[in-house]
């Protein structure tokens, strides 16, 4: 009885831990709660030190250039934003690095600081595919819940900033969430999928991890930048 209860608890923990999706962990839930209960912005200022009013993107746990990262300043990572209705994300893309197709429950404005970044956006069913090339000082918009993706076209690091009108805009990656549907549903939508070892769940495990928010780019770009394994 005791043993089976332990096994049950263990398997629940394994189940919860196994999909290694990188999400922001809430740094200070007590401070966020206090900020949300405060009556005025003046009261909130008194809850925050000068130090807590400064955000250092380089210290974000996701910060990485290999292959890249999405560093969110949001209600989870920066309590000061708890009641503001905004998120700012620093996008760091190594050579060819890409953001897999995903969406948010917020408007997303993206501004390029360096390099050239190719973006793709589908607003909704019936909408055309919108493509842009963002170079320094150019901005594009991804409306709430639009599907979007981007990659660094160059062989140098690229940086962009992303602005969202919600302190908790969320990010939903399409490939991982599609494979969380039952196999019967997924295979009826895409009957041509070649399942690895005939396993729906096994195939899902082959989707590049969300990790720090960015993944390696595609072969042609990597080849151009001399990043492929065979060095060609
Ligand atoms: C920002 O964070 C980085 C990484 O932790 C650190 O090296 C740097 O000194 C910080 N900058 C400031 C101004 O604190
Ligand atoms: C696939 O994963 C789902 C969700 O984790 C689970 O309910 C199901 O039993 C798994 N199927 C197989 C065949 O492992
Ligand atoms: C497929 O099966 C082989 C042999 O059992 C195993 O090594 C491999 O990891 C499996 N691949 C997937 C995606 O499950």
Please measure the distance between the N-terminal and C-terminal CA atoms of the chain and give it in whole angstroms. 60
Supply the pLDDT for residue 216. Answer: 96
DSSP-assigned letters across all residues of 68-86:
EEEEEESTTT-GGGTTTS-
The rounded Å distance from CA 213 to ligand 2 centre is 25
Residue list, ligand 1 pocket, CB within 6 Å: 56, 58-59
Closest to 62 measured CA to CA, from 29, 28, 24, 94 = 24
Spatial distance between the Cα atoms of 204 and 202, rounded to a whole number of angstroms: 5
Alpha carbon separation from 200 to 20, 172, 207 (Å, rounded): 17, 20, 11
Residue 8 has pLDDT above 80, yes or no: no
pLDDT in tens, 103-134: 999 999 999 999 999 999 999 999 999 999 99
Closest to 148 measured CA to CA, from 93, 109, 199 = 109
What percent helix, strand, coil does the chain show, rounded to 5? 30, 25, 45
The rounded Å distance from CA 205 to ligand 3 centre is 11
Instruction: Tell me if 206 CB under 6 Å of ligand 3.
Output: yes
The rounded Å distance from CA 201 to ligand 2 centre is 6
pTM of the model: 0.88
Instruction: Tell me if 196 CB under 6 Å of ligand 3.
Output: yes
Q: Which residue among 197, 199, 203, 205 has the greatest number of ligand 3 atoms within 8 angstroms of its CB, and so is best to mutate?
A: 197
Closest to 70 measured CA to CA, from 161, 176, 173 = 161
pLDDT in tens, 142-201: 999 999 999 999 999 999 999 999 999 999 999 999 999 999 999 999 999 999 999 999
Spatial distance between the Cα atoms of 19 and 15, rounded to a whole number of angstroms: 8
**Around Cβ 56, how many Cβ atoms within 10 Å?**
10
Q: Strand, helix or coil at 38?
A: coil
Which fold, 9-224? Jelly Rolls (2.60.120)
Is residue 162 within 8 Å of residue 91, measured between CB atoms?
A: yes
Supply the pLDDT for residue 20. Answer: 52
Supply the pLDDT for residue 17. Answer: 42
Supply the pLDDT for residue 132. Answer: 98
pLDDT in tens, 69-95: 999 999 999 999 999 999 999 999 999
| Structural domain boundaries in the chain | 9-224
């Amino acid at each position: 009885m005791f043993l089976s209860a332990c096994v049950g608890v263990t398997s629940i923990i394994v189940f919860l831990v196994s999909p290694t999706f990188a999400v922001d962990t809430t740094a200070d839930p007590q401070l966020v709660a206090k900020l949300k209960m405060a009556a005025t912005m003046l009261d909130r200022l008194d809850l925050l030190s000068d130090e807590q009013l400064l955000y250092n993107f380089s210290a974000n746990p996701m910060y990485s250039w290999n292959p890249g990262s999405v560093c969110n300043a949001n209600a989870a990572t920066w309590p000061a934003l708890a009641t503001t209705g905004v998120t700012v994300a620093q996008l760091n893309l190594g050579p060819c690095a890409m953001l897999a197709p995903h969406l948010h429950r917020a408007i997303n404005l993206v501004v390029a600081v360096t390099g050239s970044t190719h973006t793709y956006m589908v607003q909704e069913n019936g909408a055309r595919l919108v493509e842009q090339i963002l170079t320094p000082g150019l901005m594009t918009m991804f409306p709430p819940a639009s599907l979007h993706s981007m990659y660094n076209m160059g062989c140098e690091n690229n940086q962009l900033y992303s602005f969202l009108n919600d302190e908790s805009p969320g990010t939903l990656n399409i490939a991982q969430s599609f494979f969380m549907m039952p196999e019967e549903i997924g295979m009826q939508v895409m009957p041509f999928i070649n399942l690895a070892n005939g396993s729906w769940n096994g195939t899902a495990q082959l989707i590049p991890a969300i990790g720090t928010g960015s993944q390696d780019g595609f072969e042609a770009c990597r080849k151009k930048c001399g990043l492929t394994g065979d060095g060609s």
